[in-house]
Structure 1
């Protein structure tokens, strides 16, 4: 009996667990260990060699389930609200990265077709890495998080078009000097566009009724395992159907399946049931990436690897950062999106394999792309850690900020003039999301004066219409808190759980008002200890408050027992 599948899964998980644990103990992200585990069981290192084809297919399941989960938390309304920055930004960044990569390759003496293929492969970020990074930093539900996800969805749509067009384009580039004038090129483009549009229409018209109806029937059975099976079957089945019938990628099909379920009240249950499978197969994705990597490329072509990494982590980031500032988004939002996109992943590997099969990329070129992916994924957490440092650096250049972000400073002051002048002994509320909104409503109920700082334009517009004192901008940026009259405030409430942003806000607040009472929200035990060590007397950890509330309700049920029990 052939046990190749079981062996591949077992060894992948064992190596990934060992390497991931070691990486975590060394203070590195576990995914670095998963990548190294793939190198360890890959064909380029001695010892056990896993089945590469099976590992690649298993990792594809992880991408499908992950994109399905994204769809469950993302709606087309969000994408359409962000269509200007997401669509324009993604297209401009793809062009910029393709040009930068192609210029390096032309300098190395590659052909034009190979150079463009390399640059294009370096232009698209990894869905898995981006989502995990945003989740780890609690940024997925923020404005910059939604922009990054929307940006990536547009990139994926472009890659879907590219995967169908590139084979025809490769032939045309060999036979036509002016391939863009060939009829075959435009016919292929038209066919792919029609297929994608048709799939989206079918999903939005038929899928929005059929899929939630089926899941509601399953819910009525009260069978947890049957509901989990239904969710996984929907995600994988629709992804497979999308690829087989419409030529759409697995990832895009699964994403739209999640979007269809998004509007239903069972979407949260579907997400929680699919999460364990997402985590397990996402690990296999990273392991399969590591298996494709030939470590000797680092010694054979070190300068080429450095150039590729520079395009991915510096060139792409600068392009994304500049685009965000051109659309007048806050500085920290621009830095966050730039850090999110400073890596490449699954679509890059698919493009590299396709280019190799078509003769556009050599084996060494494919290994260069793999090296760039592994290095950029490994270093991506560092990019997030540099956000506060870079924010401070740009703060020291007031001319730069005034030229690029007028809405975050001067405009905000004008919007609140007439309200903020009357504020004294008030509350400054940073963030007006789900938590901040509830706090704001309580303050309104008790008629406690307060000013809100929020970096979401829609939320700010709604608050202004309601007559609230609101500042549009990022509170961690120099000059924003001043407009809230923080020097005369009594309490500062920070609702964002993002630790780096919170620390910076505390630092700026204490410079303006050393004696202000600061209330901070956090999700981390170590951050709780840190906040207490710097004198924050009211750090609030959601998990602790939840446990206290539940314990209080439980003890109330046993009030008679407690009164009869001697102290």
Structure 2
């Protein structure tokens, strides 16, 4: 068979195996990433049947790494990080440092040399951005307290990943000294300076000129060539990693007005080549060798899931998150992810870790991602149980005529002067902001409750009264004087927080009309049980509005259109 046909066969079988593996694990409720890794093991040299050529597939896999990290740079947002910097930056840095130290000591304890132990610590410290973002999006929690902080936490971890990758070559030197590290930092600084000048002076002009040509193909070529050539210059000219060059290229593109289009163009190619990277990683694993290493895999998985999860929860609470949000934050990032595999692959290539350690890292990654779902369910149950106990204690105290309870750090700054009739809005994100604008457009009184000072200042600028604090806290709801509220609007994306707000508000004022956003049948029925009278599901409302618009364009109007809309809404929320 010719080299060309052999290459096509290898890539075809690798993608087909990834398709089957991804589909299978997806049916089992697991992220497709696990299926891609397992597909690599199946077609690897250590299992019977078809054996792919690792070298051939690895060439395309390197392109996958470059595009994966480039897309990470494009999606990098200092604005998102700045919004949650108090918790995410300090907490993530502390979590990374403690995780590296713990993994390092654990590695030394099982007989690894110090450099390999340091790699193990770095691998454990990094979570899966793909798993975290996908899980939060599927659960409708991207705008929740723990969701926003988890995304910020991931941004800090992603930056740490780039630092780790840059530090690997000096770490692999025969004699460890400060000189190679300083030299690498100097080269990195020079590369960043040149990239900044080119990226701010040349790239925007070039991209704008190409965009004006109106050809999607040319724009795609511009984006991909920028990623690949910047990665090449980083490695071939400055002796740095491909990943650093790709990340810097992505960050520079992200500052352009065309960043969203650039991300949209490169994502399909990123996904395809990244899949080949994960397959190539799996092909290097020897399943039989893992049997003897099973105890070590179990220990590392325990450290990555339980240890890192608890550590992150404690740090989140220490940096000011509510207890329930801290628990959910810890569970969200309790796994090892795709960028840890890049660190492991580079470390293996540089000789920092042997094949056995590489096998253990991959097995730990798969096991931790598989366990991330059960870990999240345990965290959900723990957070719910904790908050329901708090509700019972508060309800008992309230029934005995006590005040709102002990005033904690989230209990607001000053008493809230309540008019006789007003709307209370819990949450000042995109949904809450629209509600406030509608209420203030009619000059009705409105009080907004949120923990985000920046968002509250925006609400105050709209003319709303504001109360800083966690809307799920009984003390905060007590200070909101719900007895004088006409309606409470819960515009919070976090299902548990929304449930607690509804439940505790109903206890304070059983006759209060409560309206809430909800996503899916399960959350809708949960909120109804908590006392919510009116629900708005984003998907349902979008579908109803689109149907109404389509019928309107077809000539349906007046009472008939109103009746159809009412029936659609009744059926959707039945």
23 and 115 in structure 1: CA distance in 2 versus 1, 3 angstrom threshold = closer
Structure 2 residue 270 is matched with structure 1 residue 278: yes
Q: Distance in 2 between matches of 1:101 and 1:231?
A: 38
DSSP-derived class of the 1:410 partner: coil
Deviation at 1:353? Answer: 4.3
* Correspondence 1:292-307 to 2 at 5 A: 292-307=284-299
> Which of 266, 273, 276 is 2:258 aligned to?
266
* Correspondence 1:455-494 to 2 at 5 A: 455-463=451-459, 468-476=464-472, 480-486=476-482, 488-494=484-490
Deviation at 1:375? Answer: 0.7
- With normalisation by structure 1, the TM-score equals 0.81
Structure 2 residue 167 is matched with structure 1 residue 172: no
1:184-207 Cα shifts (integer Å, max 9, x gaps): x22222222223333333333331
Deviation at 1:247? Answer: 4.1
Which consecutive unaligned segments of at least 5 residues does structure 1 have?
A: 174-184, 399-407
Give the conservation status (yes or no) of the 8 Å contact 2:7–2:56. yes
DSSP-derived class of the 1:422 partner: coil
With 439-448 and 354-363 compared, the bigger mean Cα shift is at: 354-363
> Which of 364, 369, 376 is 2:361 aligned to?
369
DSSP-derived class of the 1:414 partner: coil
Deviation at 1:463? Answer: 4.2
1:432-452 Cα shifts (integer Å, max 9, x gaps): 222322222222212233332
103 and 186 in structure 1: CA distance in 2 versus 1, 3 angstrom threshold = closer
Q: Distance in 1 between matches of 2:252 and 2:351?
A: 39
1:372-420 Cα shifts (integer Å, max 9, x gaps): 111112222333334432323554787xxxxxxxxx97344332x343x
DSSP-derived class of the 2:235 partner: helix
Give the conservation status (yes or no) of the 8 Å contact 1:292–1:370. no
1:449-508 Cα shifts (integer Å, max 9, x gaps): 333233334323554577743344444566554443345533333334444554454444
With 365-374 and 198-207 compared, the bigger mean Cα shift is at: 198-207
Q: Distance in 2 between matches of 1:539 and 1:262?
A: 37
1:131-184 Cα shifts (integer Å, max 9, x gaps): 43444445556531442233213312331332132112xx235xxxxxxxxxxx
Q: Distance in 2 between matches of 1:57 and 1:340?
A: 33
Structure 2 residue 180 is matched with structure 1 residue 157: no
Structure 2 residue 328 is matched with structure 1 residue 323: no
* Correspondence 1:44-443 to 2 at 5 A: 44-79=46-81, 85-139=87-141, 143-168=148-173, 171-172=174-175, 185-356=177-348, 360-395=352-387, 410-415=408-413, 417-419=414-416, 421-422=417-418, 425-443=421-439
- With normalisation by structure 2, the TM-score equals 0.81
243 and 461 in structure 1: CA distance in 2 versus 1, 3 angstrom threshold = farther
Q: Distance in 1 between matches of 2:355 and 2:389?
A: 46
Give the conservation status (yes or no) of the 8 Å contact 1:90–1:155. no
Which consecutive unaligned segments of at least 5 residues does structure 2 have?
A: 391-405, 560-574
434 and 74 in structure 1: CA distance in 2 versus 1, 3 angstrom threshold = farther
Paired residue total: 540
Q: Distance in 2 between matches of 1:53 and 1:506?
A: 58
Deviation at 1:275? Answer: 3.1
Deviation at 1:322? Answer: 2.7
60 and 448 in structure 1: CA distance in 2 versus 1, 3 angstrom threshold = farther
50 and 558 in structure 1: CA distance in 2 versus 1, 3 angstrom threshold = same
1:192-226 Cα shifts (integer Å, max 9, x gaps): 22233333333333312322222222222222333
With 215-224 and 354-363 compared, the bigger mean Cα shift is at: 354-363
76 and 343 in structure 1: CA distance in 2 versus 1, 3 angstrom threshold = same
Q: Distance in 2 between matches of 1:90 and 1:53?
A: 36
Give the conservation status (yes or no) of the 8 Å contact 1:349–1:370. yes
Give the conservation status (yes or no) of the 8 Å contact 1:55–1:284. yes
DSSP-derived class of the 2:175 partner: helix
Tell me which residue corresponds to 1:30. 32
1:233-282 Cα shifts (integer Å, max 9, x gaps): 33333333333334444444333333333344433333333333333334
Give the conservation status (yes or no) of the 8 Å contact 1:144–1:333. no
Q: Distance in 2 between matches of 1:454 and 1:535?
A: 21
DSSP-derived class of the 1:490 partner: strand
Q: Distance in 2 between matches of 1:296 and 1:511?
A: 59
Give the conservation status (yes or no) of the 8 Å contact 2:437–2:462. no
Deviation at 1:78? Answer: 4.5
Q: Distance in 1 between matches of 2:245 and 2:108?
A: 36
Q: Distance in 2 between matches of 1:134 and 1:235?
A: 28
Q: Distance in 1 between matches of 2:251 and 2:127?
A: 21
DSSP-derived class of the 1:222 partner: coil
DSSP-derived class of the 2:447 partner: strand
Superposed CA RMSD: 3.7
Tell me which residue corresponds to 1:404. none
Q: Distance in 2 between matches of 1:67 and 1:509?
A: 46
296 and 347 in structure 1: CA distance in 2 versus 1, 3 angstrom threshold = same
